[in-house]
Structure 1
């Protein structure tokens, strides 16, 4: 979990939605992806687009459509566009890191965030998790969970500071992309209660 890796994840989120919006707007017409247009693309004011992508595009059959564009065509368009962009993708990624990511999540904000010692959802501290590990009361089969993880409260948004919290593995894993922070909070509290009850 590095600052640079989160920039890459954030870039990939923006690119996916940028291309999705393009195919819906241009239907079957050709378009040229523009670096400046991509840099200006702001997901924070695109709730309807996010809804169409997550609740329609991903949940319909390939021969169904979103905004009059067949889902199979959307899929192929996004894949083709990503392939065409490959020679320029590193330039785009670097430009995004410099012009966008460092503004929406500064290195100082990132450092402050990862110093949090308690899960946002269940309030279990990393100290308590370490105690449980040492006492043999954690039963998962890999090393994920030894530290808190960065969670995007709104998972289809970019990694901007107000959208990020630190979460334990169990909450981050259970919340997935399904629950809003408010919906998940009582579930997190129940997870925390169980974890802290282990002796």
Structure 2
């Protein structure tokens, strides 16, 4: 197993981000890892047999993946995150825009700004920050690279599992573009 694979296993598969996870991983009594390591970095250095510079290089290598993992990972999407390089390739092909209406992340942020810090009108949902979301093209299938795209919260929420991708593009995506223009330019 390569160093990157081992780091991935510890950080993303086993999710070792606190001492209690180290205790579980090592089958130690609770509190033992804190006494032995003193820092999570020290655990990773010892476990991977590397120095602090090498650990920093690994963390830098995984920085973009970690950002996407923090933003999008959940158990339903787990398969998308099993190969960091493949996920980054898939993400880059999305062009940081909605697969349906073409709205970019920067446009969503402008809408949030126009709406005084929220994307939603009621200021209550998780979509209040205006982040592109991972959407399944065919809701009856799993999250795979072939069946997943980035979608703006508007298209994702409205299309849901009620309208096919083809029909959404044909009937609703043009209207979404017009709607965004009305928010930004009125």
Q: Which has the higher contact order (CA 8 A, sep 6+)?
A: 1
TM-score (norm 2): 0.49
TM-score (norm 1): 0.46
Q: Which has the larger radius of gyration?
A: 2
